Amino acid sequence: MSSVPERSEIDAEYKWDLDGIYADDEAWEAARETVEARIDELRDYEGRVTEDAATLLELLELREEIFRELQQVTTYARLRSAEDTRNQEYQAMSARASSLGSEASSAISYLEPELQTLTESDVEAFVDDELALAEYEHYLDDVLRKKPHTRSSEVEEVLADLSEVTDAPSEIYSMLTNADMTYGVVEDPDGEDVEITQANFTKLQTNPDREFRERVHETFYDEWEGVRNTVGTSLEKAVREHVTSAEIRDYDSARAAALDGSNVPVEVYDTLVDSVDDNLDVLHRHAELKEAALGVDQLQSHDLYMSLTGDQGPDVEYEQAREWVIEAVAPLGDAYQERLAEGLDSRWVDVYENRGKRSGAFSSGTYDTQPYIMMNYQDDIASMYTLAHELGHSMHSELAGDAQPWHDASYEIFVAEIASTVNETLLTHHLLDTAEDDELRTHVLDEYLERFRSTLFRQTMFAAFEQRIHERVETGDALTPDAFDEMYADLKGDYYAPAELTGGIEREWQRIPHFYYDFYVYQYATGISAAAAIVERVLDEGESAAADYREMLKAGGSDYPLDVVELAGIDMASPDPIESAVGVYDEYLDEIATLLDLE
């Protein structure tokens, strides 16, 4: 039987090195205690924020000292807990770190309400009195901008104290799906038993044996059927928390509240959904090409991940993927390329799946550490693209951290998903330009098309679903598992009209953790649209466009997202990048249809 190894069975070179944060758990505990002991220092400034410029600067510098160490404490605990979600000691550490974060946020919850008693003229006078406050210009502007939606110090403190409770649906869902659930065992075409996991499900759905794919699909979603009430309740509570929080802060909707956090107009969201909806015929064409490639009368849900080539494609071992990704980013400049390569040699990446490891992939770290990438590498082209994607995030953090002070280094997800997808797009261009193996080139082209499908179209479908389920609560209607199923099936049917929805696919919403992240997913779709435009500029114009893009990365969170992206020459308030991205997708469909003689 093919099974997932224990973490102890994986070589150290393929596991991240957390010694760069703390030497051991005892050092973590000492740091946690230090942060805990210093929290009262933050409370000492309550009522004094606007006393004078010097006092404000003292507080902002104190906040940085404490919260920088808090980030270390929280990150170490979360990374340890992600290594094996079954490990109760690390789950407890993560919970304690989360509690500490809530306590610290509560202790300084008075800061923004007190700052909002100032006018813009008052802030200018403070900066004149204390020039070091000029470094906080964007932060102060953002605080004043949110004044209509900030409550009193007392209410803000209560909301901060409640953060552990309001995060509960997401945390319960994560423990259920990563630590407690199993997803079944099926017999593969060779007669071997294969354990289905969240990490390998998609890969198993690319197996050429259609009956096997159907067994995997039905077995997987049958497991979700068994927890539909638990997952449905957890998501319903998460949605209600989003809606209630927006009401408390006097927003028109949960979506408006979520987007206002990064000052992205809701029109950007609407433009994305409307533009993609207007171009669903291109997605339908992709589905029809799959139908032709597979030689079936009608595409079914277990066929959607299948390659247009009809097979899973060549294996790509991790070492080969590293080499190709390093080569691919050359257009972004020698310094970028060299730093990325050094990172791969410095154990940035926790490479392989192990039993209990959190599913999916992410890039983490703090202002004071190297990046840490978690993934579940599967020796395939898709995993190579995931590596490129997460390295885009990591390099973004590295460049922003070098260029910006701590309070301006953290960037918004809206920008982050551009950085990750630029690397994916460059990888595609590099392999299509250099690979001599026709099979590899065809599979790379097919993988990029799949990335477009799953990122531009699928994530926009998710965004539309997220909007619908929040609107349902906002209008007073009930959210039940049946309601989730119905709304999801309607959207899935529209987006994949040539396919027959089978095998429990209406329950797919249950396996998407991003629905707990409060209007997060749309940024994947805007990200791939901007990335396609940026790469086109870089390849056409060379170093000048690459320099513009690096300036975007270096900007971090020093300005609002639309302004930061504009540094790279892209206007995301316009539908043009989305329409352009759909055009690229359509052109690649033309190319692969010709190569495989599908039309």
> What pairing do the DSSP bridges indicate for beta strands 349-352 and 299-300?
unpaired
Q: Which of 35, 39, 23 is nearest to 76 (CA)?
A: 23
DSSP 314: -
Gyration radius (Cα) of the chain, Å: 24
Longest dimension (CA), the chain: 77
Q: Are 390 and 419 in contact (CB under 8 A)?
A: no
Confidence (pLDDT) at 595: 85
Backbone φ and ψ of 209, nearest 5°: -80, 110
Angstrom CA distances, 219 to 185, 201, 313, 355, 395, stand at: 8, 11, 24, 20, 39
- H-type alpha helices, 329-370: 334-345
390 flagged as catalytic: yes
| pLDDT tens-digit series, residues 178-213 | 889 999 999 999 999 999 998 889 989 989 999 999
Asked whether the predicted pLDDT for residue 156 surpasses 70, the reply is yes
Range(s) for CATH 1.10.1370.20 in the chain?
Answer: 185-235+272-346+380-599
pLDDT grade, residue 359 (50/70/90)? confident
Backbone φ and ψ of 372, nearest 5°: -130, 120
Q: Are 212 and 189 in contact (CB under 8 A)?
A: yes
* The token pair that represents 314 in the structure block: 């060549």
pLDDT grade, residue 143 (50/70/90)? very high
Mean pLDDT computed over 281-299:
95
* The token pair that represents 329 in the structure block: 């980013």
Mean pLDDT computed over 146-157:
86
Instruction: Kindly provide the residue ranges of all beta strands, DSSP E only, lying in 478-561, ordered along the sequence.
Output: 499-500
Backbone φ and ψ of 426, nearest 5°: -65, -40
| pLDDT tens-digit series, residues 110-132 | 999 999 999 999 999 999 999 99
Confidence (pLDDT) at 162: 81
521 SS3 class: coil
Measured CA angle at 594 (ends 381, 427), to 5 deg: 30
Mean pLDDT computed over 254-274:
96
How far apart CA 253 and CA 231 sit, in angstroms, is 24
Catalytic residue among 241, 288, 291, 390, which?
390
Point out which residues pair with 499 in neighbouring strands. Answer: 299
Fold of the domain spanning 185-235+272-346+380-599: Neurolysin; domain 3 (1.10.1370)
How far apart CA 363 and CA 396 sit, in angstroms, is 10
Backbone φ and ψ of 167, nearest 5°: -85, -5
Q: Which of 568, 202, 526 is nearest to 385 (CA)?
A: 202
CB proximity list for 306: less than 8 A, separation 6 or greater: 205, 206, 213, 290, 293, 294
CATH number for domain 7-166, candidates 1.20.140.70, 2.60.40.60, 1.10.10.10, 3.40.50.720: 1.20.140.70
Confidence (pLDDT) at 2: 58
Mean pLDDT: which of 330-334, 355-359, 502-506 is highest? 330-334
From the centroid of its chain, how far is CA 155? 30
Q: Which of 422, 412, 413 is nearest to 391 (CA)?
A: 422
How far apart CA 353 and CA 36 sit, in angstroms, is 34
pLDDT over 70, % of the chain: 100
Backbone φ and ψ of 44, nearest 5°: -65, -20
Confidence (pLDDT) at 94: 95
Asked whether the predicted pLDDT for residue 1 surpasses 70, the reply is no
Instruction: Kindly provide the residue ranges of all beta strands, DSSP E only, lying in 462-546, ordered along the sequence.
Output: 499-500
Asked whether the predicted pLDDT for residue 262 surpasses 60, the reply is yes
- Helix axis angle for 381-403 and 543-555, nearest 10°, is 70
Q: Which of 44, 166, 193 is nearest to 98 (CA)?
A: 166
Asked whether the predicted pLDDT for residue 454 surpasses 70, the reply is yes
Confidence (pLDDT) at 165: 82
Confidence (pLDDT) at 178: 87
Range(s) for CATH 1.20.140.70 in the chain?
Answer: 7-166
pLDDT grade, residue 283 (50/70/90)? very high
| pLDDT tens-digit series, residues 397-447 | 999 999 999 999 999 999 999 999 999 999 999 999 998 888 888 899 998
Confidence (pLDDT) at 179: 86
- Look up tokens 């008052």; give the residue: 122
